[in-house]
Amino acid sequence: MKLLVTGATGYIGSHAALELLDAGHEVVGVDNLSNSSRESLRRVEALTGRDVPFVQADIRDRAAMEDVLREGIDAVMHFAGLKAVGESTEQPLAYYENNIGGTLALTQAMEAAGVRRMIFSSSATVYGDPARVPIDENTPTGRPSNPYGYSKLMIEQILRDLAAADSRWSVALLRYFNPVGAHASGQIGEDPQGIPNNLVPYISQVAVGRREALSIFGDDYPTPDGTGVRDYIHVVDLARGHVRALEFLANAVSERPDQLDQSPQAAGAQASANCHVWNLGTGRGYSVREAVAAFEKASGRSVPVQVAPRRPGDIAECYADPTLARQQLGWQAGHDLDAMMRDAWHWQRQNPQGYEV
């Protein structure tokens, strides 16, 4: 299949592009380079020996999207979006405009071009502070603690409504837990601008000497060691989950309801015949201190820490029940925490300043 990957030069988009190419698909990348470097896709081309045509454009530019989509695109993997939680609280309009406005323009362009298969980057943030863990897809969506999270929840609803209105559409809403790590080559990885918001990039930058110490945001949570527990998932596993979801959508026969999964689990997962929801996580939670220890082991470097107050909006524990993706997509994460940290470190050590040379 020929895929349009939005946000293709970004962290997850570049890894997905690579896995799509490895699985024999073609990729056209779109990105406005607001939070990424053109270099990432050049490296994907070098790693795969394949061309990745790239269009520098904003997904809000509907005409530009329509032009690209008319070039024989079969499906869209939609990663483009702003994702900094704290920034979204300061600039809610920019986040709603970019994420929701961008998705609306993109889906309208898809409709006009007759491309009606979409895989969307959602987030476990849509569950808010869940009543229980592990979180399966039946867990009601909650109240995200920030506009970024609400933008994901609203986009899910828009895409669900679109699929309900027109059975020619097929949609996958993929709820990621905490993507970390990098491709095993160390050639592509996460390259945050400025001070990292997320744990593993911060730890990596401490280990490589760019920052002094990690602040642990709270050690008084009701968790085994008091620090927050998350379901870290290797970005390559996550990318492979997208390839599986794509293949699932392509093989689904929406005209034949007898072939649809009628299990209570699928029904409860807010899935419909042509709109599916899957958690992409490992099913295991690790604390901040466990993550730091695994990184120190993988890198052989010490990572100084200091305990700081809780970060507003954080929850104590969040990890997936990934059973549905295993059953329906035949997908499960293959990398453990040690592999995630090894690959995060491999990327950081080889690229101490990220893609900037």
Active-site annotation, residues: 148
**Of 107 and 123, which CB lies nearer to ligand NAD in the complex structure?**
123
280 in contact with ligand WQD (CB under 6 A): no
- Distance set, CA 32 to CA 74, 98, 289, 338 (Å): 22, 11, 36, 34
Among 61, 87, 314, 336, binds ligand WQD (CB under 6 A): 314
Report whether 276 contacts 172 (CB < 8 A): yes
Window 61 to 90, contacts with ligand WQD (CB under 6 A) = 83, 85
Judged by CB under 6 A, does residue 199 bind ligand WQD?
yes
CA 338 – CA 297 distance, rounded (Å)? 8
- 199 binds, options ligand NAD, ligand WQD, none, Cβ within 5 to 8 A by partner type: ligand WQD
Binding site for ligand NAD (CB under 6 A): 7, 9-13, 31-36, 58-60, 79-83, 98, 102, 121, 123, 176, 178-179
User: Does 319 engage in binding with ligand WQD (CB under 6 A)?
Assistant: no
> What does 134 bind: ligand WQD, ligand NAD, none (CB cut-off 5 to 8 Å by kind)?
none
Q: Is 268 exposed, middle or buried (0-12, 13-18, 19+ CB in 10 A)?
A: middle
Stretch that binds ligand WQD, among 46-54, 66-74, 160-168, 192-200 (CB under 6 A): 192-200
The 210-239 site mask, x for binding ligand WQD (CB under 6 A), equals ----xxxx----------x-x---------
Give just the sign of the alpha carbon dihedral 53, 58, 64, 69: positive
Q: Which is nearer to ligand WQD, 2 or 311 (CB)?
A: 311
**Are 175 and 270 a contacting pair, CB within 8 Å?**
no
CB under 5 to 8 A by kind: which of ligand NAD, ligand WQD, none does 85 bind?
ligand WQD
CA dist 282 and 178 (Å) reads 10
Q: Is 355 in the site for ligand WQD (CB under 6 A)?
A: no
Choose the contact partner of 103 out of ligand WQD, ligand NAD, none; CB within 5 to 8 A by kind.
none
Contact indicator for 155, 83 with CB cutoff of 8 Å: no
Place of tokens 């609203």: 154
List residues binding ligand WQD (CB under 6 A). 83, 85, 123, 125, 149, 178, 197-199, 202, 214-217, 228, 230, 288, 311, 314
